[in-house]
Chains A and B, each alone.
Chain A
Amino acid sequence: MQFLNHLFPNVVPIWTGDGGVVQAINETLYMTIVTTIVAGIIGLILGVLLVLWDEDGLVANRPAYFVLDKVVNVLRAIPFIILLAIMSPVTRALVGTGIGPTAALVPLIGGTAPFFARQVQNALLTVDPGVIEAAEAMGLSPMAIVFRVYLREGLGELVRVTVLTIISIIGLTAMAGAIGGGGLGNLAIAIGYQRYENDVIWVALIFILVMVFIIQFIGDVIARKLHH
C-alpha cells in the first residue's frame, strides 16, 4: 500500500467512488461490450449483404451494392471526433442526454458498424469461391450458403477482424470519454491531463493495455483452435 501510494499518489484516493478508477473501468467495459455486440450484429449483416450483392455475389444487385458500398465508405471516412459532434443531436434524441457512457454508445456504434461491415466483407471474400460454387451445385439456398459456408469457412478470419475491431472500439471509447462519455479515457484526460496528475494517465493507460492484451490473447486461442 505504501508502495502504491508512493508510485501513484493521485490514484489511490480516487480508486473507488463516483468518478473513480473502478467506475471508469466499468464504464469502458460497458461501452466496449455493448458497442461490440450491437455494432457487431449490424456490421455482420451489412458485411454479408456486401458480399451477396457484389457483382460476383450469390444475389448480385448492382444498385443496392453501390449504395451500401458508398454509405460504408463515407461513414468510415468521417474522423471519429467529428462523428461524435455530428451525431450529438441523434444521441440526445435517442438517449435523452449527450453525456455519459450510454450517450457515447450511439456514436461508437455509428462509427464501428461500417468499419466492421468492411472487415466482415473482406473476411468473407477470403472464402474459396470454388467452395461456394460447390455448395450452389449441391442445391443450397443463398441463406444456407451464408450460414453453412461463408460464416463457417470464414470463421477464422472473422475472429481475426473481430479482435481487431474490439481493440479499435476500446480506442474509440477513450476518445468518446474525452468529450464526456466517461470511462478510462475521461479519467486520463479530465483528471490526469487537466490536473497534471500524470500517474492517473499511466494507470488509465495500463488498464486499457491490459484489456487489449486480454482480447488479443482470447482471439489467438480461438484462432488456434479453429486452425486445422
Chain B
Amino acid sequence: MAKEAVITLKDVDVRFHEKNRDVHAVDHVDLTVERGDIYGIVGYSGAGKSTLVRAINLLQRPTSGSVNVLGEDMLSLSAKALRGERKRIGMIFQHFNLMNSLTIADNVAFPLKGLRPKAEIQAKVTELLQLVGLEDRANAFPTELSGGQKQRVGIARALASDPEILISDEATSALDPKTTSAILDLLKQLNETLGLTIVLITHEMEAVKQICDKVAVMDEGAIIERGSLLDIFAKPQKQLTKDFIDTTLQLDAAIASVRDQPAVAHLQGADQLVRLTYLGASTDQPLVATLYKDFNVTANILFGDIQILQGTPFGNLIVVLSGSQDNIDRTFKYLADNDVQVQHIDKEA
C-alpha cells in the first residue's frame, strides 16, 4: 500500500525574541508523517518539540520553511480557511485545557456548537464519551475528574470534528504510569479503528516504545535522528538516542548493582564485562549456547531485560564473557555478524 504523506514540513525554522534573548526554537527541520503513522517526537524539555508540532496547525507560525498538511499549503491559507483546516487536526495537551465552567458533555460538544444541529451534536457527544469510556460522567464538571479522565475528555473533544490527524502534546506527562499506559492504549486503539494519524511528542521514551511506529529524536531545535521504532532501538547512532532508550531499561541501576557482584569484582585474564543488545531475529538463536558450543566462551548472565516492541523482542543482557583472548575476539566478530551490539562496561564506575 502506497503511503500518503499527510504532514510535510520542509526546512521549517522558528526563531523568536524573548526577554533580551533570541530563541532558535526549531532549526531547519524536515518532517514527513504518513497516513496512519503514530509518529513519536522525543526530546528533553526545551528541545523545541512543542514549537515544532505547533507549526503543523500554525499555532506557531514558522519564521521560514513550508508546511503542508492534508494537501493544503498551510502558510498560504486565509485566516478563515486556516480555521477550517484546524478542525481536521485535533490536539490534546499536557494539562488537558478543558473549560472548567462547562460540563464534560458540553466540553466535548464545544468544537461543534453552532456548526451542526443540536440533536446531531448530542448523538456525537454520546458516541465519543462511550468511545473514551466516560458516558456516565457526562454531567460532571472537569474539577470532579481524575487526570486520566480529564485527558479522556480532551481526546473526545479533539475527536469531535472528526479530525484525520491528532497532535498529542505531552498528553501523558502529567499522569501516573498506569494511567499513562491506559491513555496510550486508547490512542493506539483510535489509530487502528479510525485510521487516525497521531503525532505524539513526549520526553518519555516509554510512551514512544509502547505505541509509536516511527520516532524522531530532537535536540536543540533539530531532529538529530529518526527512523522506525525498531531501527532506532536496534541501532541508535546518537548518544542522546541511546540515553533515551536506556531510560526504558533502568540500566544504570542494573550496571551499578552488577559491579558489586563477585563475578565482576574478580574478573580474570581475558574476561570481559559487556552489554549485549539485540533485536528480533538474532534472539531466535540460542545465543549463549552458541557461544559456548562454537567458541568455548561462557557467558555468565548478570542482568537481563527482554521487552517486546511491536511484536519483536528487544533484549539487553549484561554478561561476563570468559574464555581465551582468541576465542573472545572471534566471539565479538560472530556477534557483530549477527547484529548483536556489544558495548564494553568498565568494571568500576
Binding site for B on A (CB under 8 A): 128, 130-131, 133-141, 148-149, 152-153, 155-156, 226, 228
Knowing A137-B86, A138-B161, A140-B83 touch, does A131 contact B97 (C-beta < 8 A)?
A: yes
Q: Does B59 lie within 8 Å of A128, measured CB to CB?
A: no
When C-beta atoms are compared, the residue in chain B nearest to A141 turns out to be: B83
Bound Cα distance from A153 to B106, whole angstroms: 13
When C-beta atoms are compared, the residue in chain A nearest to B82 turns out to be: A139
Q: Does A136 lie within 8 Å of B59, measured CB to CB?
A: yes
Bound Cα distance from A156 to B79, whole angstroms: 31
Q: Does B141 lie within 8 Å of A228, measured CB to CB?
A: yes
B137-170, CB under 8 A of A: which get 1 and which 0? 0000101100000000000010001000001000
Bound Cα distance from A152 to B110, whole angstroms: 12
- Contact for A137 among B91, B101, B102, CB less than 8 A: B91
**Chain B residues near A131 (CB, 8 Å)?**
97-99
**Chain A residues near B80 (CB, 8 Å)?**
141
B76-101, CB under 8 A of A: which get 1 and which 0? 00011011111101110101011111
Bound Cα distance from A139 to B112, whole angstroms: 10
Bound Cα distance from A168 to B167, whole angstroms: 47
**Chain B residues near A228 (CB, 8 Å)?**
100-101, 141, 143-144
Bound Cα distance from A136 to B82, whole angstroms: 10
B110-124, CB under 8 A of A: which get 1 and which 0? 110100000000000
Q: Does A138 lie within 8 Å of B110, measured CB to CB?
A: yes
Q: Does B141 lie within 8 Å of A137, measured CB to CB?
A: no
Q: Does B97 lie within 8 Å of A134, measured CB to CB?
A: yes
Bound Cα distance from A134 to B156, whole angstroms: 13
When C-beta atoms are compared, the residue in chain B nearest to A134 turns out to be: B97
Q: Does B86 lie within 8 Å of A130, measured CB to CB?
A: no
**Chain B residues near A140 (CB, 8 Å)?**
83, 111
**CB of B57 closer than 8 Å to a CB of A:** yes
Knowing A139-B84, A139-B111 touch, does A133 contact B97 (C-beta < 8 A)?
A: yes
B3-44, CB under 8 A of A: which get 1 and which 0? 000000000000000000000000000000000000000000
- Contact for A134 among B84, B91, B102, B113, CB less than 8 A: B91
- Best-surrounded residue of A135, A137, A139, A228 (most CB of chain B within 10 A): A137
- Contact for A139 among B87, B102, B143, B144, CB less than 8 A: B87
Knowing A130-B93, A133-B59, A228-B141 touch, does A138 contact B86 (C-beta < 8 A)?
A: yes
Q: Does B57 lie within 8 Å of A137, measured CB to CB?
A: yes
Bound Cα distance from A91 to B183, whole angstroms: 63
Q: Does B101 lie within 8 Å of A155, measured CB to CB?
A: yes
Q: How far is the CB of A153 from chain B (nearest CB, A)?
A: 6
**Chain A residues near B95 (CB, 8 Å)?**
128, 130
Bound Cα distance from A137 to B166, whole angstroms: 11
Q: Does A137 lie within 8 Å of B100, measured CB to CB?
A: no
Q: Does A139 lie within 8 Å of B97, measured CB to CB?
A: no
Q: Does A137 lie within 8 Å of B89, measured CB to CB?
A: yes
Q: How far is the CB of A226 from chain B (nearest CB, A)?
A: 7
**Chain B residues near A148 (CB, 8 Å)?**
110, 113
**Chain B residues near A155 (CB, 8 Å)?**
101
**Chain A residues near B102 (CB, 8 Å)?**
152
**Chain B residues near A137 (CB, 8 Å)?**
57, 59, 86, 89-91, 167
**Chain A residues near B99 (CB, 8 Å)?**
131, 149, 152-153
Name 21 A/B residue pairs within 8 A (Cβ), A-sorted. A128-B95, A130-B97, A131-B97, A131-B99, A133-B93, A134-B93, A134-B98, A137-B57, A137-B90, A138-B111, A138-B157, A138-B161, A139-B82, A139-B87, A139-B161, A140-B83, A141-B79, A141-B80, A152-B99, A153-B101, A228-B144
**Chain A residues near B89 (CB, 8 Å)?**
137
